[in-house]
Amino acid sequence: MTSLGVAMSLQLVRGNLNFSASSLRPWLLLKEFDLPFEEIAIDLFKPDTAQKLGPYSPSLKVPVLLHDDLRIWDSLAICEYISETFLEGRGWPFSTAKRAAARAIAAELHADFRHFNRDWPMNCQVKIKLKPSEQVEEEIARLDAIMANCRRKYGQGGDYLFGSFSIVDCMFAPYALALQAYGAVLTAAAREYLEILLDNPHLQCWIDDAQDEIEEFTWEKVG
């Protein structure tokens, strides 16, 4: 079976478009590399959410990638699997040095920034100027440094963090949406990358679909 044929059997179980930062990451990778997949959307704010997630997710969390009888949960693990199985490793930069640095940054984005994620969560529809706490301000400074330093040191050959689009940009996407939504003050170099990532057509599609999802939910509640 061709890689395209295998990819046709992919299913991504995701949460609400507006809020599910972890769901956005593998979704964006699949879209950027034009891999066909089916989306299974689970509303994370319903009383029966755990019951609906049970058949798909051992952790009762999203996202989950379904491929034949394999179930992979955790956004970074899913992105790694997609890269290795369908992209011949192209989800990461080609050079050994870039790839090692990209993996380190991706792991940091995946596991750290707890104050930022708590106080400035991803919300595709909000736009409000917030004054960050001291802890959030420190984490914003680190995110700024990641954007500026990666672009300066590794960004040759493209507009993204490591030049060509990679898993690191997927991991950064929810932060980009939140930084923009809450009016973070950034350096010029960081702002330049942020705007490029936010202009990604697939990310724009996610944002547009999030609005449609909210309107559909509101209509159901009103009706």
Judge whether residue 196 has pLDDT over 50.
yes
Over residues 57-105, the pLDDT tens digits come to 999 999 999 999 999 999 999 999 999 999 999 999 999 999 999 999 9
pLDDT of residue 218: 42
Judge whether residue 221 has pLDDT over 60.
no
Hey, which residues does 10 pair with through a beta bridge? 67
**Statement to judge: residues 130 and 189 lie in one domain:** yes
Give dist(CA 101, CA 96) in Å, integer. Answer: 9
**What pTM was estimated for this model as a whole?**
0.92
Buried b (16+ CB within 10 A) or exposed e, 202-212: bbeebbeebee
Please check whether residue 210 lies inside any domain of the structure.
Answer: no
pLDDT of residue 8: 60
Give dist(CA 123, CA 147) in Å, integer. Answer: 21
**Statement to judge: residues 164 and 84 lie in one domain:** no
Judge whether residue 3 has pLDDT over 90.
no
Going through 33-95 in order, the beta strands assigned E by DSSP cover 38-41, 64-67, 70-73
* β 64-67/10-14 pair status: antiparallel
**Statement to judge: residues 17 and 62 lie in one domain:** yes
**Statement to judge: residues 196 and 102 lie in one domain:** yes
9 falls in which pLDDT band (50, 70, 90)?
A: confident
Please check whether residue 207 lies inside any domain of the structure.
Answer: no
Give dist(CA 119, CA 102) in Å, integer. Answer: 26
**Statement to judge: residues 122 and 189 lie in one domain:** yes
pLDDT of residue 213: 81
Angle between helices 134-154 and 96-111 (to 10 degrees): 170
What residues contact residue 203 under an 8 Å CB cut-off, 6+ apart?
28, 173, 176, 177, 197
Q: Report the pLDDT averaged over residues 48-56.
A: 93
Write 90-95 long-range contacts (CB < 8 A, 24+). 90/33, 91/29, 91/33, 91/166, 91/167, 92/166, 92/167, 93/154, 93/162, 93/163, 93/164, 93/166
Higher pLDDT, 206 or 8: 206
**Statement to judge: residues 84 and 161 lie in one domain:** no
Return the CATH number at 83: 3.40.30.10
Enclosing domain of residue 31: 3-89
Residue 30 DSSP SS3 = helix
Judge whether residue 195 has pLDDT over 90.
yes
**DSSP percent split of the chain into helix, strand, coil, nearest 5:** 55, 10, 35
Over residues 170-193, the pLDDT tens digits come to 999 999 999 999 999 999 999 999
- The overall average pLDDT reported for the chain is 92
Higher pLDDT, 219 or 167: 167
Return the CATH number at 161: 1.20.1050.10
**Statement to judge: residues 198 and 126 lie in one domain:** yes
Number of domains in the chain: 2
- From residue 168, alpha-carbon distances to 41, 67, 100, 109, 201 in Å are 24, 23, 11, 8, 17
- From residue 204, alpha-carbon distances to 27, 64, 200, 210 in Å are 13, 22, 6, 10
CB 26 within 8 A of CB 79: yes
Residue with tokens 């992209």: 87
Please check whether residue 126 lies inside any domain of the structure.
Answer: yes
Among 36, 60, 89, residue at a domain's last position: 89
